[in-house]
Amino acid sequence: MKKTLADQSIDLSRRRFIVSSTVAGGGLALGAHVPFGIGSAEAAEAAGTEVNLWVVIRPDDTCVIRIARAEMGQGTRTGLAQLVAEELECDWNKVKTESVTVARNHASKRAWGDMSTAGSRGIRMSQDYVRRAGAAARTMLLQAAADQWQVPVAEVSVANGIITHRASKRTTSYGKVAAAASKLTAPDHKSLTLKDPKTWKVAGKPLKRLDTADKLTGKQLYAIDLRLPGMLHAAIKACPVFGGKLASFDESKIKGMRGVRGVVRVNDSTVAVVADMWWRAKTALDALPIVWDEGEHAKVTSASIAAHLKTGLTSDDAFADTNFGDASKAIAGAAKKVEAVYSVPFASHSTMEPMNCTVKLTADKAELWIPTQNAEASMAALSTSSGLPLEQCEVHHLDLGGGFGRRIGNQDVVRQGVAIAKQFPGVPVKLVWSREEDQTHDFYRPIAQCRLEAGVDDGGNLVGLHMRVSGQSINAFANPAAIKDGKDVRQLQGLWQKPGDAQIGYTVPNMRIEYAMRNTHVPVGPWRGVNTNQNAIFLECFMDEAAKLAGKDPLEFRRALMSKHPKHLGVLNATADKAGWGKPLAPGRYRGIAQFMGYASYTAAVAEVSVSSKGEVKVHRMVLGTDCGNFVNPATIAAQVEGSVAYGFDSLLTEISVQNGRVVEQNFDSYHIARLVHLPKVETVIAPTYDFWGGVGEPTICVAVPAVLNAIFAATGKPVRSLPLKHQGLTLI
Amino acid sequence: MVELNINGRSHKLDVEPETPLLWVLRDVVGLTGTKYGCGVAQCGSCSVHINGEVMRSCVLPASFAAGKRVVTIEGLSRDGSHPVQKAWAQHDVPQCGYCQSGQIMAAAALLRKKPKPTDADIEEAMTNICRCGTYQRIRAAIHTAAGSRKDGGSVIHIVDAAVPSSSVAAADNRDNAGA
Ligand code: FES
Ligand code: FES
């Protein structure tokens, strides 16, 4: 399936290219009123020479770098541009970016590679081929200059897009030689030597993002902002009980409401109202009498789900992914033992831009505008639900108002949008979910419990550890084929023995780590950090309980188990050092520490908290460290680290709970997302070892919460085993 | 019919007077910089200024704004030159950006009332949700806009993992050209 740049046909890279892609990222000011399709003035301004698929150079030396991955705030657009620019040696101040449309990628046999942006892969899985693309373009541009001057290419050099022939003191610029360069044969990308990251001048630097300006003036066009001539607006409601059905609705009751154009039975569980304004559609939908057939799950509650998960803590249907020695025996025979049960609730994605898309269908064309983490999956859903072949489908993927895993695989909103638009041929229909719909029809972070037992010997050494995770499986819901022999190892992410991605950082002589699948009727999916979130809370909080049992400092206790995991240990040490672990603290303040691994990056965190006599928890300072191998933009990494703390704080502040089979927390008055006041001062430690490429967007999220919980444990002497904090009479202030 | 003064221009709009101002701005006037996030006055994405006060337009009937001055993000400055916008650019605040119109409107209103806000003032006034978690830079950018502090924002240590004590602090005020 995957095609590398090196495989691509030279023909493509020779074409002179006029920007006609509909969602250009950089440089093109798309006003909120401007329907897609760029006017001739912009097209002329955007004209440039395609040196290769990734690099277009304009006569004024502007370098347009094409980006295939989605930008949802994580900074990949800027990071990938830095990597290309580093090898290209262009002038960073003249760099612009544009998005590759899925149609172009499809037509080019996926020459731009995978467009899916999930699993913190945006940089680490693209870095090699985008750097090679930049290097190939540079090679061709230098060759073109050398040809023009009739000198050996070895005698010309480039800096900031200015090519120099030292001997004759002649100079030219990328803009001047681009046309000639584009006619040359591209070098074999695999043969190119890439720069040592330690010598980088553009990549590796804390450069500002390329996509900030329009986000400060309201100009940035999100899919939800789209306005097309004749557009209609749809509001939607699915059965509030998952798995329930739409029995009937009484359309006559809303007939005659202003602006209403129709009621659509979207599928067997969903109804939509279409009107000339979204507010009118929503008002009519709220007035529409709907009868639901709530089905078999209408009595499910959080308590019944918890009881169901509890059975998995002791059942005999679990599988052990790790099993060294004899954990049960070692613990039974240990000098001291501790046992605990932890629980972590469902959480919602709550992207700030609610789920939405716009669909326009004609007899021979399906067009979709959508914020998506996977434009190819959106295209596939558009094609299957419209019944039109891919060639007649067009997806305009716009930069997202947040993704966090909600907008990857499940293209529910596309199928809905197409079903509605089918009733209005030729008319663009924008479907926008209300926040209530968004909160109650998410694919939630899975709920989980964990029973842990540990035994320590007289010397305070951990001799046995037993973890039994019981909880819902994402794969069972979304991708059952990924479960081999009934063993869903994905639910043990971060606890694996296998190195390189999400490996446990401890060596314990007797260790057993098991998973018992306990599914519910609540849809689940990847949520920033996915299963590292709950697994890090389970393991790292319990490590502090075990350290206390052993009478050891939590950092020393961990270090003793980490000699075979130097990278885990390295980032833990670096983080503890920056946090001043062991140094005196202001009175009433306590520290907590945690480390974990996910998405190929090693992470650690230290939190400083105080807890009042009324149980008010204040987090004052956090230091989070990551070894992501090589790093592309420290400022972006810091933004992602700070953001991951805020996102992770859901586990402290709030939960998705279930009553009568449906989600209780319908909006932000009951689903409490962290506000500015809740966030401590966060410091970011980047501790690179330069011999691999790890992710950035997700890895640090999982250590934030256990570090805070361990600090609370240090402050109160009471472990926090059930989240959110309110279950323990604690409040984050 | 409702008559509104938005960003200094008057508009006669054929909408039901109870329509929330947010949807009048977005779907009728076409000013989409003001965002829908919750519809229940919780997130602040829809923040606008009405007679100089920051308000959440998702719960205000259009009729409430009649005869008052409405300013949206598009009218805060002509060219992104409001001190808050400039400070936001300096600190590279936005991630996805979706909440930022509302954050900027809230910060601008705060600074009008309290030109030198303390951290406590900022915590009290800035209750808008940012799901991307840009809060640290928002706090720093407000201090910068107030002219009271230039540092702050992200604190970054790049260290050699093998030798934890050799560290470099790369603070904010990053410079594109200097890289
Ligand atoms: S949309 Fe108005 S406060 Fe959230
Ligand atoms: S920047 Fe994304 S919600 Fe604030």
Average pLDDT over residues A608-615: 98
CA distance, residue A570 to nearest chain B CA (Å)? 5
CA distance A203 to chain B (A): 9
List CB contacts (< 8 A) between B130 and chain A.
352, 646, 676
Max Cα-Cα span within chain B: 70
Tokens at A708, concatenated:
């805070």
Mark which of A175, A196, A215 sits at the end of a domain.
Answer: A215
The answer to the question of residue A630 being in a domain is yes
Query: What's the token pair of residue A313?
Result: 């803590």
Q: Is residue A439 part of a domain?
A: no
Is B142 found in the same domain as B90? Answer: yes
Shared-domain flag, residues A145 and A162: yes
Q: Which of B27, B88, B98 sits opposite A278 (nearest CB)?
A: B27
The answer, for A161 touching chain B at a CB cutoff of 8 Å, is: no
Report if residue B54 sits inside a domain.
Answer: yes
DSSP B122: H
Chain A CB contacts of B123 under 8 Å are 676-677
- Counting from 1 in the atom list of ligand 1, the atom nearest the Cα of B38 is 4
Q: Are A462 and A586 found together in one domain? A: yes
The CATH number of whichever domain residue B142 belongs to comes to 1.10.150.120
Q: Cβ B30–A227 below 8 Å, yes or no?
A: yes
Q: How far apart are CA A429 and CA A233, in angstroms?
A: 6
CA distance linking residue A529 with residue A514, whole number of Å:
20
Contact A395, A103 (CB under 8 A): yes
Q: Do residues B102 and B135 both lie within one domain? A: yes
pLDDT band at B149 (very low <50, low <70, confident <90, very high): confident
Task: Identify whether residues A662 and A520 lie together within a single domain.
Answer: yes
What residue type is A320 in one-letter code?
A
The answer to whether residue B62 is domain-embedded is: yes
Give the rounded distance of the alpha carbon of A148 from its chain centre.
Answer: 46
- Which residues lie closer than 8 Å to A57 by C-beta, 6 or more apart? A48, A49, A51, A63, A64, A90, A141, A174, A175, A178
Residues B72 and B10 in one domain: yes
Are A119 and A210 in a shared domain? yes
**Amino acid in position B169:** A
* Rounded Cα gap, residues A57 and A140, in angstroms: 12
| pLDDT at residue B163, rounded to an integer | 44
Which of ligand 2's atoms lies nearest the C-alpha of B95?
A: 1
Is the per-residue pLDDT at A310 higher than 50? yes
Interval A543-585: pLDDT, tens: 999 999 999 999 999 999 999 999 999 999 999 999 999 999 9
Of residues A93, A225, A667, nearest to B38 (C-beta):
A667
Confidence of residue A123 (pLDDT cuts 50, 70, 90): confident
Whose tokens are 């330690």? That residue is A198
Give yes or no for residue A1 having a pLDDT over 50.
no
First-to-last CA distance in chain A? Answer: 50
A317 and A241 in one domain? no
B48 is a domain residue:
yes
Same domain (yes/no): A310, A288: no
Is there a domain that residue B165 lies in?
no
Phi, psi of A307 (to 5 degrees): -65, -40
The per-residue pLDDT for A6 is 31
Contacts of B159 in chain A (CB under 8 A): 574, 577-578, 685-687
Give the distance from CA A660 to its chain's centroid. 31
Least confident of A618-627, A724-733, B48-57, B163-172: B163-172
A234 Cβ under 8 Å from any chain B Cβ: no
> What is the residue type of B121?
D
Interatomic CA distance for residues A659 and A302, integer angstroms:
6
Instruction: Tell me, yes or no, whether B169 lies in a domain.
Output: no
What is the Cα–Cα distance from A298 to A240, expressed in whole angstroms? 9
Q: What does the DSSP 8-state code read for residue A580?
A: T
Are A470 and A449 spatial neighbours (Cβ–Cβ below 8 Å)?
Answer: yes
Query: Are B50 and B116 found together in one domain?
Result: no
Q: Do B6 and B72 fall into the same domain?
A: yes
- Report if residue B94 sits inside a domain: yes
Is A438 contained in some domain? Answer: no
- The DSSP result for A676-723, as a single string, is GGG--EEEEEE---SSSB---TTTTHHHHHHHHHHHHHHHHS----BS
Whether residue B87 sits in one domain with residue B72: no
Q: Tell me if B37 CB under 6 Å of ligand 2.
A: no
Chain A residues within 8 A of B45 when measuring between CB atoms: 352
Residue B165 has pLDDT above 50, yes or no: no
| Structural domain boundaries, residue A134 | 2-215
Q: Which of A32, A400, A683 sits opposite B96 (nearest CB)?
A: A400
Q: How far is CA A490 from CA A170, A174, A224, A480, B35, in A?
A: 59, 48, 34, 11, 37
Residue at A182 is within a domain: yes
Identify the weakest region by mean pLDDT among A9-18, A231-240, A343-352, A494-503.
Answer: A9-18
Contact (CB<8Å) B98/A686: no
Query: Residue A252's pLDDT is what?
Result: 96
Q: Is A44 helix (H, G, I), strand (E, B) or coil?
A: helix
Task: Give the list of residues 6+ apart from residue A44 with CB closer than 8 angstroms, or none.
Answer: none
For residue B133, the ligand 2 atom closest to its alpha carbon is 4
Q: How many whole angstroms separate alpha carbon B25 and alpha carbon A262?
A: 24
Do A367 and A511 fall within a single domain? Answer: no
Which residue from B42, B105, B131 has its CB within 8 A of the most atoms of ligand 1, so it is best to mutate?
B42
Q: Are strands A270-275 and A232-238 parallel, antiparallel or unpaired?
A: antiparallel
* B123-158 as b/e: b if 16+ CB within 10 A: bebbebbbbbbbbbbbbbbbbbbbeeeeebbbbbbb
* Alpha helix stretches (DSSP H) within A554-633: 554-559, 566-579
Quick check: A583 contacting B, CB < 8 Å? no
Residue ending a domain, among B28, B45, B76, is B76
State percent of chain A over pLDDT 70. 94
Please list, residue by residue across A700-711, b when 16 or more beta carbons sit within 10 angstroms of its beta carbon and e when fewer do: bbbbbbbbbbbb
Closest atom of ligand 2 relative to the B96 alpha carbon: 2
Nearest CA to ligand 1 atom 3: B41
Last residue of a domain, one of B54, B76, B98: B76
- pLDDT by residue (tens digit) across A431-477? 999 999 999 999 999 999 999 999 999 999 999 999 999 999 999 99
User: Do the Cβ atoms of A145 and A156 come closer than 8 Å?
Assistant: yes
Q: By the CB < 8 Å criterion, does A29 face chain B?
A: no
Please, what sign has the CA dihedral across residues A69, A75, A81, A85?
negative
Determine whether the interchain pair B161/A404 forms a contact, defined as Cβ–Cβ distance below 8 Å: no
In terms of domains, do B55 and B97 share one? no
Separation of alpha carbons A369 and A188, rounded Å = 36
Task: Please tell me whether residues A127 and A246 are part of one structural domain.
Answer: no
Cβ pair B154:A638 closer than 8 A: yes
pLDDT band at A27 (very low <50, low <70, confident <90, very high): very low
Q: Are residues B45 and B8 in the same domain?
A: yes
**More reliable by pLDDT, A712 or B176:** A712
CATH code at A311?
Answer: 3.30.365.10
Is A10 within the bounds of a domain? yes
Phi, psi of A78 (to 5 degrees): -70, -40
pLDDT tens across A37-94, in order? Answer: 333 444 444 579 999 999 999 999 999 999 888 899 999 999 999 999 999 999 999 9
At A373, is the pLDDT very low, low, confident or very high (cuts 50, 70, 90)? very high
Domains identified in chain A, total number: 3
Beta strands per DSSP E along A461-548: 462-471, 510-517
What are residue A112's phi and psi, to 5 degrees?
-90, 5
**Could you say which of A211, A635, A689 has the minimum Cβ distance to residue B174?**
A635
Contacts of A93 in chain B (CB under 8 A): 176-177
Size of interface A-B (CB pairs under 8 A): 252
DSSP three-state, residue A107: helix
Residues with CB under 6 A from ligand 1: B 36-39, 41-46, 56, 58
pLDDT at residue B177 greater than cutoff 70: no
**Atom 4 in ligand 2: residue holding the nearest Cα:** B130
Instruction: Answer whether residue A437 is part of any domain.
Output: no
What is the span of the domain harbouring residue B39?
A: 2-76
On whether both B56 and B115 belong to a single domain, the answer is no
pLDDT at residue number B162: 55
What separation in Å is there between the alpha carbon of B57 and the centre of ligand 1? 7
A176, A199, A215 - which closes a domain = A215
Residues A529/A698, Cβ–Cβ less than 8 Å: yes
Question: B92 and B128 in one domain?
Answer: yes
A455 forms bridges with which residues in the sheet? Answer: A337, A464
Residue finishing a domain among A383, A400, A432: A432
Place of tokens 């209780």: A664
| Residue-level pLDDT at A4 | 32
Question: B96 CB under 6 A from ligand 2?
Answer: yes
Q: Average of pLDDT values for A670-678?
A: 98
C-alpha–C-alpha distance, residues A69 and A81, integer Å: 11
Q: Does A682 touch chain B (CB under 8 A)?
A: yes
Mean pLDDT of A613-627: 98
Which of residues B61, B76, B91 is at a domain's end?
A: B76
Neighbours of B162 (CB within 10 A): 12
Tell me what the mean pLDDT of segment B64-76 comes to.
Answer: 98
Is residue A410 a contact partner of residue A478, using CB atoms and an 8 Å limit?
Answer: yes
Q: What is the mean pLDDT of chain A?
A: 92
- Comparing CB atoms, the residue among A677, A683, A689 nearest residue B157 is A683
Domain count, chain B: 2
Distance A444 CA to ligand 1 centre (A): 22
B92 and B65 co-located in one domain: no
* Preceding amide of A724 cis, omega within 30: yes
Ligand 2 centroid to A638 CA: how many Å? Answer: 15
CATH code where residue B40 lies: 3.10.20.30
> How many Å separate Cα A513 from the centre of its chain?
27
A377 and A515 in a common domain: no
How far is it, in rounded angstroms, from Cα A124 to Cα A599?
A: 10
Average pLDDT, chain B: 90
pLDDT at residue B95 tops 90:
yes
Within a domain: B71: yes
Whole-number percent of chain A with pLDDT over 90 = 88
Asked if B66 and B120 sit in the same domain, the reply is: no
Beta bridge partners, A452, equal: A340, A467
Q: Find tokens 């691994």 and name the residue.
A: A597
Q: What are phi and psi of A252, to 5 degrees?
A: -60, -25
For residues A385 and A415, is the Cβ–Cβ distance under 8 A? yes
Mutation pick from A202, A397, A676 vs chain B, by most beta carbons of B within 10 Å, is A676
How many residues are given for chain B? Answer: 179
What number of residues does chain A have? 733
pLDDT for A681-730, tens place per residue?
Answer: 999 999 999 999 999 999 999 999 999 999 999 999 999 999 999 999 99
Measure in Å the smallest separation between the Cα of B35 and chain A Cα atoms.
Answer: 8
Using CB atoms within 10 Å of the CB of residue A307, give its burial: 0 to 12 exposed, 13 to 18 middle, 19+ buried.
Answer: exposed
**Among A249, A277, A251, A248, residue whose Cα is nearest residue A262:** A251
As given in the structure block, the two tokens for residue B3 are: 């008559």
Q: Which stretches of chain B are assigned E, i.e. beta strand?
A: 2-6, 9-13, 47-50, 53-56, 69-71, 155-160, 163-170
A497: how many CB neighbours lie within 10 A of its CB? 14
User: Same structural domain for residues A126 and A181?
Assistant: yes
Shortest-distance ligand to the CA of residue B44: 1
Distance CA A571, CA A578 (A): 11
**Helix B100-113, helix B135-145: angle, nearest 10:** 40
Alpha helices (H) in B68-162, listed in sequence order: 73-76, 83-90, 100-113, 119-125, 135-145
Q: What is the dihedral of CA A498, A500, A502, A503, to 10 degrees?
A: 50
Residue A274 shares a structural domain with residue A336: no
ipTM reported for the complex, 2 dp = 0.93
Is B170 in the A-facing interface, judged by CB distances under 8 Å?
A: yes
Same structural domain, A306 and A423: no
